């Protein structure tokens, strides 16, 4: 089932729609945003040079720093009185990235979110327990609007309140839960501690997002909650959640490319990469009014494919984002992604699916300390377990951690609201 027939559009037709929408977007950005007028002028490109998608690489990139440099509303292309909503990203350093929406933008967002929910198997009348945070963060309200657009019954509980979440999952018979993958695991763990069996719930699906999730982590969630877990992707600079969504084929996430055009580029040079090669995801909005965005560099690493999908949707698919180019840790000259450490942790039943990475600098030398958590069921020897983990990490990372500590069950801090923090870089 699809929410909108456009999801099965013939590829040639899609391309001509994108060509036309790109021309309009470039004109709109050039006419109404000083930043884009300057950037295009500097690149020696005029809106008239852009006939369609084939010319997209002539356009300059937009970066995170451009949102910050033009804080708060320098990238807004419409009059203030035409804005209907403002969201902002939770910037960990400096000013947040502020984004605005017109009435049309909110409708568009509701539509792509409704498509995403249907792609996850949600139907009108289903009850969706929305455990993403409400507020300036786009997660909560984005999912919420999608439920309303679709005609699903949304429970706006937001993040945290784990006891209440469990109570509502039992008492209201929620069909679908939406939350971060780390929180899904935490809910499962808390349920187990309290003697609650998720198999007695009505819950069939968890829509996970806002954090990267490795395949073993997803399997862990599906097993622990007895559900299908499907990945949703988005970012506030483009619209919020609902830029792309994984379908039941579990073979990548369909990008709603009639509104958001994806490219993959070499993270170092910015050169476009051929289909199938991994690189940095870049998005251009094709219909946004308040904040049109040209070639936004997400920092997320993925591949794209236009091969037909079993679900019948024709829209391009992106692979799961397992790392961000800015997650990359360089330790003594070796490239390490936290997701690689996660995959090792999840291979071992003797440890819980939690870990912590601490990076320090000792003189000129980087040090990396990994802490994992013994699972309740494991009653073997910690030192012997640590040695096996260390061996496995050496094989996967080509680097052995300086220390590998095994914490007692519950010894690693859990995240109940917001995004999980696993890497602590003290350098």
* Footprint of Zn ion (CB under 5 A): 247, 249, 309, 311, 313
Shortest distance (Å) from residue 254 CB to Zn ion: 6
Shortest distance (Å) from residue 413 CB to Zn ion: 37
DSSP tag of 272: B
Shortest distance (Å) from residue 324 CB to Zn ion: 24
Shortest distance (Å) from residue 8 CB to Zn ion: 10
Q: In this complex, which beta carbon is closest to Zn ion, that of residue 149 or of residue 314?
A: 314
For 80: left if phi > 0, alpha if psi spans -120 to 50, otherwise beta; the answer is alpha
Tell me if 105 sits within 8 A of 78, measured CB to CB.
no
Q: In this complex, which beta carbon is closest to Zn ion, that of residue 127 or of residue 244?
A: 244
Q: How far apart are CA 134 and CA 158, in angstroms?
A: 6
Q: What is the number of other CB atoms lying within 10 angstroms of the CB of residue 102?
A: 20
Shortest distance (Å) from residue 208 CB to Zn ion: 17
Shortest distance (Å) from residue 129 CB to Zn ion: 25
Q: How far apart are CA 260 and CA 244, in angstroms?
A: 9
Shortest distance (Å) from residue 308 CB to Zn ion: 9
Shortest distance (Å) from residue 263 CB to Zn ion: 20
Q: In this complex, which beta carbon is closest to Zn ion, that of residue 219 or of residue 249?
A: 249
Q: In this complex, which beta carbon is closest to Zn ion, that of residue 249 or of residue 334?
A: 249
Burial of 34: CB neighbours in 10 Å, binned 0-12, 13-18, 19+: exposed
Q: In this complex, which beta carbon is closest to Zn ion, that of residue 235 or of residue 309?
A: 309
Cis geometry, peptide bond prior to residue 249 (ω within 30 degrees of 0)? no
Shortest distance (Å) from residue 258 CB to Zn ion: 16
Q: In this complex, which beta carbon is closest to Zn ion, that of residue 218 or of residue 313?
A: 313
Tell how far CA 2 is from the center of its chain.
22
Mutual angle of helices 11-32 and 34-43, in 10-degree steps: 110
Q: Which residues contact 256 (CB under 8 A, 6 or more apart)?
A: 7, 112, 115, 116, 242, 243, 244, 245, 315
Helix, strand, coil abundance in the chain, percent, nearest 5: 35, 25, 40
Q: In this complex, which beta carbon is closest to Zn ion, that of residue 79 or of residue 310?
A: 310
Q: In this complex, which beta carbon is closest to Zn ion, that of residue 249 or of residue 387?
A: 249
Tell me if 129 sits within 8 A of 157, measured CB to CB.
yes
SS3 291: coil
Which runs of E-coded beta strand occur in 62-125?
Answer: 85-88, 98-101
Q: In this complex, which beta carbon is closest to Zn ion, that of residue 11 or of residue 332?
A: 11
């Amino acid at each position: 089932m699809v929410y909108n027939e456009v999801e099965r559009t013939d590829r040639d037709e899609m391309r001509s729609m994108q060509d036309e929408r790109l021309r309009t977007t470039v004109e709109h950005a050039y006419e109404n945003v000083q930043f884009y007028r300057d950037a295009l002028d500097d690149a020696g490109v005029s809106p008239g040079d852009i006939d369609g998608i084939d010319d997209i690489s002539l356009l300059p990139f937009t970066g995170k720093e451009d949102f910050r440099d033009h804080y708060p509303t320098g990238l807004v292309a419409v009059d203030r009185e035409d804005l209907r909503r403002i969201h902002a990203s939770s910037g960990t350093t400096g000013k947040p990235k502020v984004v605005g929406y017109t009435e049309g933008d909110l409708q568009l967002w509701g539509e792509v979110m409704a498509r995403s929910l249907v792609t996850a198997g949600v139907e009108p009348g289903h009850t969706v327990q929305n455990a993403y945070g409400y507020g300036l963060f786009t997660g909560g309200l984005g999912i919420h609007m999608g439920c309303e657009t679709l005609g699903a019954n949304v429970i706006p509980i937001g993040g945290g309140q784990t006891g209440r979440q469990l109570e509502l999952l039992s008492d209201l018979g929620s069909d679908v839960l939406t939350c971060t993958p780390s929180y899904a695991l935490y809910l499962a763990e808390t349920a187990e501690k309290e003697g609650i069996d998720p198999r007695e719930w009505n819950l069939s699906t968890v829509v996970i997002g806002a954090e990267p999730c490795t395949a073993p982590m997803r399997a862990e969630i599906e097993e622990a909650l007895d559900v299908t877990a499907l990945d949703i992707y988005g970012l506030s600079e483009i619209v919020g959640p609902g830029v792309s969504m994984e379908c039941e084929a579990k073979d990548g996430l369909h990008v709603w490319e009639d509104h958001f055009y994806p490219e993959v580029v070499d993270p170092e040079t910015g050169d476009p990469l051929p289909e199938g090669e991994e690189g940095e995801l870049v998005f251009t909005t094709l219909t946004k009014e308040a904040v049109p965005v040209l070639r936004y560099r997400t920092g997320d690493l993925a591949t794209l494919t236009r091969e037909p999908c079993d679900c019948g949707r024709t829209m391009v698919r992106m692979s799961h984002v397992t790392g961000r180019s800015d997650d990359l840790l360089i330790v003594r000259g070796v490239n390490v992604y936290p997701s690689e450490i996660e995959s090792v942790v999840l291979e071992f039943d003797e440890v819980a699916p939690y870990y912590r990475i601490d990076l320090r600098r000792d003189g000129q030398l980087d040090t990396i300390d990994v802490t994992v958590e013994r699972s309740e069921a494991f009653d073997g020897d910690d030192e012997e377990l640590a040695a096996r983990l260390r061996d496995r990490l050496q094989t996967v990372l080509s680097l052995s951690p300086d220390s590998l500590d095994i914490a007692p069950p519950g010894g690693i801090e859990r995240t109940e609201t917001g995004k999980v923090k696993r890497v602590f870089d003290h350098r």
